[in-house]
Amino acid sequence: MALLEPRDWEGKIRVGDAWTDGGAGVHPVVSPSTGEELGRIGHASAADVRRAAEAASAAQRDWAGLPYTERAAVLRRAGDLYQQHAAEIEQWLRTETGAAPGMAGFQIGTTAQEFYEAAALASAPYGEVLRTAVPGRTSFSRQVPVGVVGVIAPFNVPTILAIRAVAPALALGNAVLLKPDPRTSVSGGVVFARILEEAGLPAGLLSVLPGGAETGSAVIEDPAVRVIAFTGSTRAGRAIGELAGRHLKRVHLELGGNSAIVVLPGTDPSAASSVGAFGSFNHQGQICMVAGRHLVHSSLAEEYTANLAARADKLTVGDPASGDVALGPIIDERQRDNIHAIVTETLAAGAELRAGGTYDRLFYRPTVLGSVPADSRAFREEIFGPVAPVTVFDTVDEAVELARSSEYGLSLSVLGPDPAAAYAVAERIPSGLVHINDQTVQDEAVAPFGGVLDSGTGGRHGGTRANLESFTETRWTTIRADLPQYPF
């Protein structure tokens, strides 16, 4: 049986226990590869968000009161169902999001694992016994559900970047309002509603509310929503953090990046170029962790850049739904034009075009820029496209300063023949994620994930500790056997 039959959700949103018309109209779901309309999805109004929040609040109390084994069972079934419907979901990832087969498959596997890890989280220790100086008193702390969690997810990796907040929030006894990006609302929203419905999640605990900024604002402002988990641009993250702060709400921000790969002297330039190519070109560069800056020692720079360009030239670019391609399309014309503007302005600033720099419709060729100045757009800005800017350094201190010069701090790779020396370099550069002798795009359901500086508010997703801190409140409790006597 197909999971995503359009008759279930065509033109609808999910509020509480029903697929219903959205108050903000109906919008097309479009393939970025072909421009074909794949279906239509409803968009949620502020009134829809209010109704969803009311349903979530009512359902959450009973959900939190269930034995943890019942919550865990729902999430395990969801992981199984996700894998059982992998072929259907992968086809949507290829057509709706432009994911190449390898990237689509990675999302399937990691998303299923997020369900399984969340199932285990439901039974994790969630408190501690505290020492007390008061005789006869027992003192302890316990993590309790926050109530309703708002999740605002992006277009680029819509399954992982939604479920890594949705699944642990549910496992810990919360309800969730999910606002997927309107461009990828089926892969990043409808699929989770259908999977969890089939897995036995009680009605009201997950609403799917596609829409734009107005819908997101309504989720943040609703009084029932106590925690916001947002993944997206730094610009949007600032606005969301400000709005959430006005309402005294906790907000977890996973934002943009301009991650560096540092290639130290003595590294094999051919092997390093393979690491660098994957780090920059995977998923058309539309990943927050992609290698946005290749900092290469002068003794290796020419050979590294030539190898990187040769790898770029061999990569196939095309419609992921029609064949086995390495790169798919950019999500839309606006993003493609921004990528091309950064490339052309960086070339005008003195960089060398070593590969790519051209496009056909939304298919942008993997691009290598050599001798990139440190004051150019390609060095300073997050490109979010398949572009590898190479900047040369002469000393390790210079490499550290170049890496530190960015306002971002998401992921960092240092490549070198001595892992200990590479690690020592990494210790000097602010970053939420560090990978020695590997590329910047890494993710595992069991690992804490998050950036520093303008890349976000730290490791708030993944792993038991981060998830408990993100989606629960700490409650201090004391118990005495008898009433004490006070001097009043």
What are the extents of the domains in the chain? 6-255+456-476, 259-436
Amino acid identity of residue 379, one-letter, is F
pLDDT in the model for residue 461: 85
- Under the banding of pLDDT at 50, 70 and 90, the label for residue 459 is low
Global pTM?
0.96
Q: If you average pLDDT over residues 212-236, what whole number do you get?
A: 97
Q: If you average pLDDT over residues 441-449, what whole number do you get?
A: 92
pLDDT in the model for residue 27: 94
Residue 463 has pLDDT above 90, yes or no: no
Residue 1 has pLDDT above 80, yes or no: no
Q: If you average pLDDT over residues 80-88, what whole number do you get?
A: 97
Q: Given 114, 117, 288, 382, which residue is catalytic?
A: 288
Q: If you average pLDDT over residues 184-207, what whole number do you get?
A: 97
- The reply to whether 444 belongs to the active site is no
Residue 8 has pLDDT above 90, yes or no: no
* Class of the CATH domain delimited by 259-436: alpha beta
Q: Given 96, 114, 117, 254, which residue is catalytic?
A: 254
Q: Give tens-digit pLDDT for 172-183.
A: 999 999 999 999
- Under the banding of pLDDT at 50, 70 and 90, the label for residue 6 is confident
pLDDT in the model for residue 215: 97
- Tell me what the pLDDT averaged over the chain comes to: 96
In CATH terms, is domain 6-255+456-476 a member of 3.40.50.300? no
- The reply to whether 288 belongs to the active site is yes
Residue 319 has pLDDT above 90, yes or no: yes
Q: Give tens-digit pLDDT for 255-273.
A: 999 999 999 999 999 999 9
- Under the banding of pLDDT at 50, 70 and 90, the label for residue 3 is confident
- Answer yes or no: same fold for 6-255+456-476 and 259-436: no
Residue 154 has pLDDT above 70, yes or no: yes
- The residue length of the chain stands at 488
